[in-house]
Amino acid sequence: MSFQGYLTNIEAKTGQSPADFRRLAVERGFSDENGLRPGTKAGAIVAWLKTDFDLGHGHAMAIVALLKGSKKEGDE
């Protein structure tokens, strides 16, 4: 599945867009306008996404990649 495919599935399941997840991550203190805050662990974000949005590990890691800036919307 492409990265964009992950994001599409996540939005269909949660009703949250990539921009929504970026905003929510800022509100929770995981990230800022530059990406993940120093010291933020992927495991903490994955746990949040699994608990609050019932995402599986792979889909949660796609959001982590989005927040890190290592992947962007539209990436294959």
Provide the Cα torsion 47, 53, 54, 59; round to 10°: -70
pLDDT band per the 50, 70, 90 thresholds, residue 74:
low
* Beta carbons within 8 Å of 12's beta carbon, 6+ residues apart: none
| pLDDT tens readout for residues 3-54 | 889 899 999 999 999 999 999 999 999 999 888 999 999 999 999 999 999 9
Query: pTM, whole model, 2 decimals?
Result: 0.89
Apex CA 44: angle with CA 73 and CA 5, to 5°? 25
